[in-house]
Amino acid sequence: MKFIILGAGPGLPTLDRNQSCLYINMSERHILADCGEGTAQKLLRHGLDANVIDAILITHYHPDHISGIYMVLQMLYLQQRTKPLKLFLPERQSEFLATLSLFYTFPTRFQFILEVYPVAEVGSHIGGIIPVMNDHLLGYGDHIHRYSLKNMMQAYSLRFEEGDGSLVYTSDLATMESIRPIVLSTHSVIIDALHPNYKQISALQDMSIQRIILTHGISDELAAWLEEANDPRFEPAREDYAYYL
Ligand SMILES: [Zn+2]
């Protein structure tokens, strides 16, 4: 398995980081997990545009994880892509498709077929990918209830498996509780190092993981702990670097 972090920045834009996007090459498939702003340009830079990508998985609908999808689809349309594209979305798939029409990006004009599915079902379409719902969006519950909104608070972490290799991409999350089973004994983890309490991240030390890649920013408490712990398994995410496992 090979993966490249195309965007490791936090939700607050910064000058030197792209927003969340991860490329995974496994079992001869080319997969994108999340599509933050700037993803189309990153695909061009790495030669992953036109007919390369097989599937795009969106973990949740925060703008730094989804906003780049519109320019990716426009680019693929203008490049006259012909290969079908599977798009896995966390919730309210038909409402997302309506936004494409709103932006005059009509799937009926694409030369490729855009197949849209719930990300919860990705495992039945692509072997070796396990989605697990996490607690990232649950804090919006009161607001959603108060204003009778339709938001379903669906946010996912993803585990990718190929042979003996396994990678977990936590995406954003509040705590580790909901995803502990998929993280245990995985080879590599790409974890949101900004939102969870630093104790939750430091606890990964005892979970038989070989590489813990910290993305989305690093909280001050975690930075202090890292300096003290001096454990080489923890490393800041490197954008555009090819990792292998
Ligand atoms: Zn988020």
Between the CA of 9 and the centroid of ligand 1 the distance, in Å, is 11
Indicate whether 245 belongs to any domain. Answer: no
- How high is the pLDDT of residue 27? 86
Of 60, 67, 59, 54, residue with least CA distance to 103: 67
Between the CA of 131 and the centroid of ligand 1 the distance, in Å, is 16
Between the CA of 79 and the centroid of ligand 1 the distance, in Å, is 30
Between the CA of 21 and the centroid of ligand 1 the distance, in Å, is 12
Q: What is the pLDDT of residues 3-60, one digit of tens each?
A: 999 999 999 999 999 999 999 999 899 999 999 999 999 999 999 999 999 999 999 9
In the DSSP assignment, the letter for residue 128 is T
Residues around ion ligand 1, judged by CB within 5 A, are: 62, 172
| Structural contact between residues 198 and 228, judged by C-beta atoms closer than 8 angstroms | no
Number of independent structural domains in the chain: 1
pTM of the model: 0.97
Indicate whether 89 belongs to any domain. Answer: yes
Q: What is the pLDDT of residues 195-219, one digit of tens each?
A: 999 999 999 999 999 999 999 988 8
Q: Which is more confident, 185 or 9?
A: 9
Indicate whether 240 belongs to any domain. Answer: no
Q: Which is more confident, 217 or 241?
A: 241
- How high is the pLDDT of residue 231? 96
Between the CA of 84 and the centroid of ligand 1 the distance, in Å, is 28
- How high is the pLDDT of residue 160? 97
The domain of 14 spans: 2-234
pLDDT > 90? residue 185: no
Q: What is the pLDDT of residues 127-184, one digit of tens each?
A: 999 999 999 999 999 999 999 999 999 999 999 999 989 999 999 999 998 898 899 8
Indicate whether 208 belongs to any domain. Answer: yes
Between the CA of 62 and the centroid of ligand 1 the distance, in Å, is 5
CATH of the domain at 160: 3.60.15.10
Between the CA of 136 and the centroid of ligand 1 the distance, in Å, is 7
Radius of gyration of the chain (CA): 18
Indicate whether 239 belongs to any domain. Answer: no
Between the CA of 11 and the centroid of ligand 1 the distance, in Å, is 7
Indicate whether 186 belongs to any domain. Answer: yes
Distance CA 59, CA 65 (A): 7
Indicate whether 49 belongs to any domain. Answer: yes
Indicate whether 38 belongs to any domain. Answer: yes
- How high is the pLDDT of residue 48? 98
